[in-house]
Structure 1
Amino acid sequence: MSDSEYGCYNAAMNSATPPDTLSVSQLNRLAKQLLEDCFAQVQVSGELSTLSRPSSGHWYFTLKDQRAQIRCAFFKNRNMRVNFQPEPGQQVTVRGKVSLYEGRGDYQLIVDSMDIAGAGALAAAFEQLKQELKEAGWFDAENKQALPSQIQHIAVVTSPTGAAIQDILAVLQRRWPAMKVSILPVMVQGKQAAGQIAEAIATANRWVQSAASDFDVVLLSRGGGSLEDLWPFNERIVAQAIRASHLPVISAVGHEVDFSISDFVADVRAPTPSAAAELLSPDQQTLLSNLNLLGGRLIAAQNRRLSQWRQRCLELRARLKDPRSQLREQSQRLDDLELRLQGQWRQRQLQRKQQLAALEKQLALLSPQRQLGQKKRDLVSLQSRLLQAWPQTLQSAKRRHSYLQQQLQTLGPEQTLQRGYAIVLDSEGQAVRDTKTISAQQKVSARFAKGRAELVVQKIQD
């Protein structure tokens, strides 16, 4: 017996002042006190075995390893906080105190909490990655995308056989059956799950960018489970895929109390898959009620408007005079205008006749026959001068044409090419006059006096 155990034994014996001869109950009570005082809180790992769950809600099981085992009791008020379903054969870690059941004298462990073995390491890794991404700004609200105002097509990244997709489809069928849903099937648990989830998110974005699909959002979802079950959604590769997504990503992983790295990185976090479906879909019943309300308001407004116009028509009818008196007045006014028009027309005709007589007198004074004779004489003179000047002008033009043709041949490119020069042309057939208009490895062509050659620019010197 160690010093600490011996001290615990003496303290238990002295506090109970046991008699020389103990009853069984007294011995078990002293042993229980000794165990609870010396092992007030322990943490034990082992394999879960012989699990029983009576109607009281308590759990009774055996925890064992290769060489020993211990009975355990996990009472209802404590086991309600376990977030996974324990099964025989699982490796678990329990915390509690060592005790003894006096009725049978059984040595046992009173359990306060239970986790899957290794969950502590997973929790530490979770907190480390969470802190790292938070410091990098991946959780900041300004880096998150807003959901589209109208969502018509959802890409759901989940297991096609899980309960999550059934919950999502049921909610969408109830709220908005017209919603288009495409399932990108992935594993949501296991070593390969994280890679499949990240690839599915990237695939949804590629399809949208290539116009192969018209997704509006990506919904990342699965049902509840332990930290180990949900671990693929805590992998860095999934967080990176969400971060790189051009489509808004909604994370609905586990139950309301479950949080994953994908929840923090995603643009929107939904507590459950059903809540995500409600978030992404309008309620057709609510819209129908609103539509009926607006229809009623429209009919009421229309009736009010018609009543106003009816009253206005009655007022205008009361103000409307008998049109016959106005017709008589307008007829009389028309007769007056007709008489005035006839008088003005006769006066206008008289003025036109007087003007025409004056113009006829002027025309007689300015007879055009005399002017026509002079114009004919001028025309004959101009024709004679034209016939004399035309041969001289034609000869001068011919000499000028020959001179320019000779100059063109002398200065033209053909004569230059005949002297051994070449013309360099770019891909558009334009002459290259400056090295700045071409670049290395560019294809050009050279025109010679006889033939052409295709060239590639190796080096350019200014």
Structure 2
Amino acid sequence: MQSNQTPPAFTVSELNNEVKSLLESSFRIIQVEGELSNFVRPGSGHWYFTLKDSGAQVRCAMFKNRNHYLNYQPKNGDKVRVRAKVSLYPGRGDYQLICDYMEDAGIGSLQQAYEALKLQLQRQGLFDQSHKKTLPLQPKRLGIITSPTGAAVHDILTVLQRRFPSLPVNIYPARVQGNEATDEIVAAIETANSHNTCDVLIVGRGGGSLEDLWCFNEARVAEAIFNSRIPVISAVGHETDVSIADFVADVRAPTPSAAAEIISPDQAHLQLRLQQLHNRLQHNMQQKLSRYQEKLRWISNRLKHPGDKLNEHAQRLDDLELRLSKAMQQAVTTRQDKLQQLQQRQQRCLQQPRISALQQKVNELGHRLEQLSLQYQARQQLRLQAIAGRLNGVSPLATLERGYAITERPDGKVIQQVKAVNPGEEIHIRLQDGRIRSQVTEVIPDLL
């Protein structure tokens, strides 16, 4: 006889607990190697992440009491090796690894590809600051390239609605994850440039793992952003996510919401600024009006009776006439003095050429006198030489030089005749080189 009783049903919690016990009892402590992604570190200090390879992934947890002892600080893209036990999180029914140790096992394949492409594009100059285009101060139309159903477009539109709702927006839909994402993002950028209706583009999506964001690390997307004639803001993932698109774009925003804030003027701020300018204008106009009123009162107080004003003008006219007469007299006196000075200067100027001419003539005469004096002195020198020659010819000394002698008395008187001396007298005989003192012994006159 068959029983109609059905086996008891498990509750979901019972099922998950059974599976958890089965998994934990079936596996001992194991080591697993893979690439780290989706790494989060909440305030509790626990670590939650995903290990993956090219074909699969598994959720992992490492609690604070275990990760506290690690010197290694993991990050997305790292290739790691963990020691763990297999378990299941009953709350979600997710199979997971509970890790008690982790060590670096090298760089993951995606991270390696990311670093290689980054270096290649950097060498090609796609990151150079000189190629960055300036964003418009107040855009006329904004283009958004992202998934039309994702959180990013919602965040951007929410910020625009709050800050500047009058800014027109064009949405160019594109997948931002998966195999088709790269082609669609490139096509959307090219379409926006061909339409040429937007003056700035936001390209991006919400947060995710490195593989989720991988389409923004593709060379084709980087080249499309670089070649865009429209300035591009890259808004990919969270603030800690950095993609190749961030390096190529003209401006990088940490989040899609931040991109919307960068490009949109704050309407509330503009209204406040407008109100401040209005208040300043009103205050300045009031101050200027008050100054004009005060000036009008001052001018009104200065107004007098026309007769009094005429008398004042007449008196001022007389005063000006006296001052003019005195000034003219002083001017005439000054002009006369100046004329006299000019005449004296003219007289000196007229005499100056004559003095200069006379001085020049004196100089010329002095020069001529000096020349004539030298000539006269030369002539007299020649004449003196001639006379000296003549005197020397008739000089007794010249006679002496020819061998003759001169007989003189002791007083120097020349004896010309023998009869002028007597025997026994002293005589001097003068020769060329001296005198001879002698005594006359006999006087013999010549016979005729």
Residue 309 in structure 1 maps to residue 292 in structure 2:
yes
**2:79, 2:108 within 8 Å by CA — same for their partners in 1?**
no
Aligned AA (1:319): R
Residue 253 in structure 1 maps to residue 201 in structure 2:
no
CA distance in 1, matches of 2:294, 2:48: 82
Using the size of structure 1 for normalisation, the TM-score is 0.49
The residue correspondences of 1:386-425 to structure 2 (distance < 5 A) are none
Change in Cα spacing, 1:83 to 1:76, as seen in structure 2 (3 Å) is: farther
Give the match for residue 44 of structure 1.
Answer: 33
CA distance in 2, matches of 1:280, 1:313: 51
Deviations 1:221-263 (A, max 9, x none): 1000011000000111101101111100000000000011100
Using the size of structure 2 for normalisation, the TM-score is 0.51
Residue 128 in structure 1 maps to residue 116 in structure 2:
yes
Change in Cα spacing, 1:297 to 1:173, as seen in structure 2 (3 Å) is: same
Give the match for residue 157 of structure 1.
Answer: 145
Aligned AA (1:176): F
Give the match for residue 41 of structure 2.
Answer: none
The residue correspondences of 1:69-148 to structure 2 (distance < 5 A) are 74-76=62-64, 95-97=81-83, 110-112=100-102, 120-148=108-136
Look up the SS of the partner of 2:108 in the other structure.
helix
Give the match for residue 21 of structure 1.
Answer: none
Deviations 1:182-205 (A, max 9, x none): 110000001110111011111111
**1:59, 1:76 within 8 Å by CA — same for their partners in 2?**
no
Percent identity over the alignment is 46
**1:160, 1:185 within 8 Å by CA — same for their partners in 2?**
yes
Look up the SS of the partner of 2:300 in the other structure.
helix
CA distance in 2, matches of 1:298, 1:94: 66
Change in Cα spacing, 1:204 to 1:249, as seen in structure 2 (3 Å) is: same
Give the match for residue 166 of structure 1.
Answer: 154
Change in Cα spacing, 1:163 to 1:109, as seen in structure 2 (3 Å) is: closer
Stretches of structure 2 lacking an aligned partner (at least 5 in a row): 1-27, 36-43, 88-96, 311-448
CA distance in 2, matches of 1:130, 1:94: 22
The residue correspondences of 1:308-327 to structure 2 (distance < 5 A) are 308-322=291-305
The offset of 1:112, in angstroms, is 3.4
The residue correspondences of 1:263-412 to structure 2 (distance < 5 A) are 263-322=246-305
Change in Cα spacing, 1:237 to 1:99, as seen in structure 2 (3 Å) is: closer
Number of residue pairs matched by the alignment: 261
CA distance in 2, matches of 1:83, 1:194: 22
Aligned AA (1:270): A
**1:119, 1:228 within 8 Å by CA — same for their partners in 2?**
no
The offset of 1:120, in angstroms, is 1.4
Change in Cα spacing, 1:304 to 1:63, as seen in structure 2 (3 Å) is: closer
CA distance in 1, matches of 2:225, 2:50: 42
Change in Cα spacing, 1:195 to 1:314, as seen in structure 2 (3 Å) is: same
Change in Cα spacing, 1:255 to 1:108, as seen in structure 2 (3 Å) is: closer
Change in Cα spacing, 1:324 to 1:207, as seen in structure 2 (3 Å) is: farther
Aligned AA (1:110): D
CA distance in 1, matches of 2:272, 2:194: 39
The residue correspondences of 1:217-232 to structure 2 (distance < 5 A) are 217-232=200-215
Look up the SS of the partner of 1:151 in the other structure.
coil
Change in Cα spacing, 1:43 to 1:311, as seen in structure 2 (3 Å) is: same
Give RMSD over aligned pairs. 4.3
Give the match for residue 190 of structure 1.
Answer: 178
Deviations 1:412-440 (A, max 9, x none): xxxxxxxxxxxxxxxxxxxxxxxxxxxxx
CA distance in 2, matches of 1:122, 1:62: 13
Change in Cα spacing, 1:56 to 1:131, as seen in structure 2 (3 Å) is: closer
Deviations 1:251-307 (A, max 9, x none): 000000001110000000000000000001111121222222222211111111011
**1:73, 1:109 within 8 Å by CA — same for their partners in 2?**
yes
CA distance in 1, matches of 2:206, 2:188: 18
**1:71, 1:108 within 8 Å by CA — same for their partners in 2?**
no
Deviations 1:138-164 (A, max 9, x none): 111111001011112110000000000
**1:73, 1:111 within 8 Å by CA — same for their partners in 2?**
no
**1:154, 1:217 within 8 Å by CA — same for their partners in 2?**
yes
Aligned AA (1:160): P
The offset of 1:134, in angstroms, is 0.9
